[in-house]
A and B are shown apart, each in its own frame.
Chain A
Amino acid sequence: MKIAISGLNNTDNPAPGIPVAKSLKGHNLIGLSYDPNEPGIYQGFFEKIYLMPFPSVGWEDTKERILEIKRKSNIEAIIPNLDAELPMYIKNQNLLKDIGIKTFLPSLENFEMREKRKLSEFSKKLGVKHPKTIEVISLDDLIKAVKEIGFPVMVKGNYYKAYIAYNLDEAVEYFYKISNEWGFPLLIQEVISGVEINYVGFADGELLGGVGIKKLTTTELGKVWSAISIDNKELLNLAKKFVEITGWRGAFELEAIVNGNEIYLIEINPRFPAWVYFATALGINLPEMMVDLMEGKKVEKKLNYPFEKMYIRYVEETVTDFSQFTTLLTKKEL
């Protein structure tokens, strides 16, 4: 099957596209990029790269581009990996199916249910704690929220970025920093101390595979740089319950904090995380499971994996002709 994959940024703020592509070696892969500077373009995983219109331009442009790519490269499936494009793909998954392009995505209802600003309510359904969170759309709101929660607070964008603020000056600085780039609303969240653990899962109405980790080191943006696989029954049960309640279809990542006997749900990402290759390397290839289900194959449930395995990212370099970059920039494909 010919599969198109987005999210090719492979810097120290990596998108999930390259780990997904690495997990799908052996398939014919097409790269969907938003920027010729994305390093993943030049790593040799894709038989063809297409530049895509930004999701903010709207679905019509994206649809036209997908139809063109379908015509030129005959893609049969798309795995979208970026938060900003997911709502668009989720809303139009049936339309894509009609034109012969498979996806494996959650319903719009499920996607919206786990949004950061709705997570307090959703956590109650899951029977799990969630740090106090207040949605803000103005400086006045911000001041009220930090008064109510008390410092330190997390200042979070609805899709991207999160910073810890220890005083009002810092909170205001992050308020502008995030809102200038990503807009509103922002979320002001209580800081929970404890051990942060994560779970990547894949489901089709039931949990089919997953791996739990603890991040050992992170980049300045909090992206995992090294991690260790863990065996946490509560986290696994939370993942199972999440899938059971929502009937989740597709990939997801749970971010949680363990504080003593309490487990706090911090975030649910509706896609593979950029560290998904860790699961692949442990024998649980979640992108391959997704492709198997797209192809109508049966998949074997895989929830057991070795713990105390360490994952380490590293920097690699490559050299290519500058004409590759300029071709992609001008012709929108490579």
Chain B
Amino acid sequence: MLINEMIIDENGVAFIPSLGISFQINETAKEIIELLKEGKTKEEIVKILSEKYERDWREVYIDVEDFFIKLKVYGLIQ
């Protein structure tokens, strides 16, 4: 998965070294990407974020699912 090689710089720009493509991401996206790189599943990420930010897991799930679709569209995850 391309996401495993992603490097995020101090400007919040994520770079894929093998393809030279980059994406501007926000803090939440950065957090999800870091959790993904640690090998966490979508469900685990939803649980971690909903507990951390004290939000209903259903609400968090919708946002995480939306972000996963974006990652797939960009070919960053399978």
Contacts and interface: CB of A to CB of B under 8 A. Distances in A.
Interface of A: 195, 197, 213-214, 216, 227-235, 258, 260, 307-308
Contacts of B7: 308
Nearest to A233: B18
B12 interface: no
A307 B19 contact: no
A260 B75 CA distance: 6
A137 B19 CA distance: 36
Contacts of A228: 20
B20 A214 contact: yes
Q: Name the residue in B17, B19, B20, B75 with the highest tally of chain A Cβ atoms < 10 Å from its Cβ.
A: B20
A195 B19 contact: yes
5 contacts: A216-B20, A230-B17, A230-B18, A307-B17, A308-B15
Contacts, number: 32
Interface in B18-64: 18-21
B75 A230 contact: no
A232 B15 contact: no
Interface of B: 7, 15, 17-21, 75
Say whether chain B's binding surface is mostly helix, strand, loop, or mixed: loop
A235 B18 CA distance: 9
B20 A213 contact: yes
A231 B75 CA distance: 18
B56 to A, nearest CB: 35
A243 to B, nearest CB: 20
Nearest to A232: B18
Nearest to A228: B20
Contacts of A234: 18
Contacts of A258: 18-19
Given A260-B75, A308-B7, A231 B21 contact: no
A214 B75 contact: no
Nearest to A310: B20
Contacts of B20: 195, 197, 213-214, 216, 227-230
Q: Name the residue in B15, B19, B21 with the highest tally of chain A Cβ atoms < 10 Å from its Cβ.
A: B19
Given A214-B19, A229-B20, 20 more contacts: A195-B19, A197-B19, A197-B20, A213-B20, A214-B20, A228-B20, A230-B18, A230-B19, A230-B20, A231-B17, A231-B18, A232-B17, A232-B18, A233-B18, A234-B18, A235-B18, A258-B18, A260-B75, A308-B7, A308-B17
Contacts of B21: 195, 214
Contacts of A307: 17
Nearest to A260: B75
A233 B19 CA distance: 10
A235 to B, nearest CB: 8
Contacts of A231: 17-18
A258 B2 CA distance: 12
A302 to B, nearest CB: 18
Nearest to A307: B17
Contacts of A235: 18
Contacts of B19: 195, 197, 214, 230, 232, 258
Contacts of A195: 19-21
A229 B17 CA distance: 8
